[in-house]
Amino acid sequence: MSAVRRTFAAMSSPRTDTTAPQLGPFPVAPQLPSLDNSFGAFLIATFVGLIMYGLTIHQSYRYYRLFPKDLLVLRMTVALTVFLETVHVILCMHICYYYLVAHYFKPDALLEGVWSVRVFPLLTALIVLISESFFTRRVYLIGKQFRVIVVIAPVLMLCVLAFAIAATIEAFVKPSFAEFDRFAWMSSAGFGVAVLVDSMLTGTLILALRTSRTGFRRTDSLIDLMIIYAVNTGLLTGLLDLLSFVFAIVSPNNLIYAAINVVAAKSYANAVLAVLNSREFLRDKIQRDCFGTDMMDLTELKPTPKEETSTDRQTTVDAWHLSQLANAKGAASSHSVLDV
């Protein structure tokens, strides 16, 4: 008890030294700048990203249950996406812990970029690259008339990756945030190119589906549903990329654009998985609406030459000509592909 009284007496006595003041066992924090539009925004984006990461894990589990014998390239795409998303989440948590917990009494630490901040643009670009490669493959399956887009899109995707690599290198060469502000245009340029690629791929899919209309209500309603899927998978990612592009130009001195980029990366992964998992629903809808039965399997139709060597009955829906569905009901022929 005497030790406790001495402690309270020391705390209540006037201070004569010039050391930092104490508040109980903790020193009083020095004056810190506002973190609302920097690490505060990044922290909120990390919370949202963790929720979306949980959705990614759920969709991945569902994909491997529904399509255990899917094409190897698709299974590898999902596995690589989940791996990169896991590393991406770890980087986000490390950034928040480093600046907001481990160094919350050290304002000087806010001026330097930790290693996780420096590699963050590159990892985000890799996630975008894999996702857009998947959607480029969909355009490739549509037909030869859209092969120009298939050639242009990878070139633009490599530009996105090049900007991210350059930004990562400059982040290691110029670790200070103040010095890196001069190279913020690299991030904004990468976001702008990503918006262009998303618009090209989504627009091509919508155009191909609209030209596949047969005039029959059931097949046209199915095409309308697929257009909605195409718009939904490209609209959110494109909008987030556009916001990142704008904020990187307007406010390069804060981390709002990086916070939006966290959510955008998770949106790309979930868009890919949503498209893959929706094949089961769309196949069942085709059987009900176009054939009026739940028992008929699409594999009873004649597959395209690309799929004749496949032994997986579920994967054959990946490249079915809409003309086959139309001809099954006596409708006019169409050249588009049901690429779900």
pLDDT at position 336 is 37
* Cα 86 to Cα 42, 126, 133, 275, distances in angstroms: 17, 13, 20, 20
Cβ 290 vs Cβ 253: under 8 Å: no
Pick from 237, 277, 264, 326: which is nearest to 67 by CA?
A: 277
| Beta-strand relationship, 22-23 and 26-27 | antiparallel
Q: How far apart are CA 251 and CA 225, in angstroms?
A: 39
> pLDDT tens across 36-88, in order?
888 899 999 999 999 999 999 999 999 999 999 999 999 999 999 999 999 99
Query: Quick one: pLDDT at residue 58?
Result: 96
Going from the C-alpha of 26 to that of each of 18, 22, 105, 108, 149, the distances in angstroms are 16, 6, 11, 19, 61
Cα–Cα dist 198/83, whole Å: 23
d(CA 46, CA 8): 42
- CB within 8 A of 276, min separation 6: which ones? 63, 67, 70, 74, 78
Quote the CA–CA distance of 213 and 242 in Å, as a whole number.
Answer: 31
Which residues, including other chains, have CB under 8 Å from residue 209's CB and lie 6 or more apart? 223, 226, 227, 230, 336
Torsion of CA 131, 135, 137, 142, to 10 degrees: 170
At which residue do the structure tokens 């963790």 appear?
50
Phi/psi of residue 39, nearest 5 degrees = -75, -20
d(CA 31, CA 269): 40
Q: From the CB of residue 30, how many other CB atoms can be counted at a distance below 10 Å?
A: 9
pLDDT tens profile 83-110: 999 999 999 999 999 998 888 777 777 7
Q: Which residue stretches of the chain have pLDDT < 70?
A: 1-33, 178, 180-181, 183, 212-222, 224, 229, 232-233, 282-340
User: 3-class secondary structure for the chain?
Assistant: CHHHHHHHHHHHCCCCCCCCCEECCEECCCCCCCCCCCHHHHHHHHHHHHHHHHHHHHHHHHHHHHCCCCCHHHHHHHHHHHHHHHHHHHHHHHHHHHHHHHCCCCHHHHHECCHHHHHHHHHHHHHHHHHHHHHHHHHHHHCHHHHHHHHHHHHHHHHHHHHHHHHHHHHHHCCEHHHHHHHHHHHHHHHHHHHHHHHHHHHHHHHHHHCCCCCCHHHHHHHHHHHHHHHHHHHHHHHHHHHHHHHHHHCCCCCHHHHHHHHHHHHHHHHHHHHHHHHHHHHHHHHHHHHCCCCCCHHHCCCCHHHCCCCCCCHHHHHEEHHHHHHHCCCCCCCCEECC
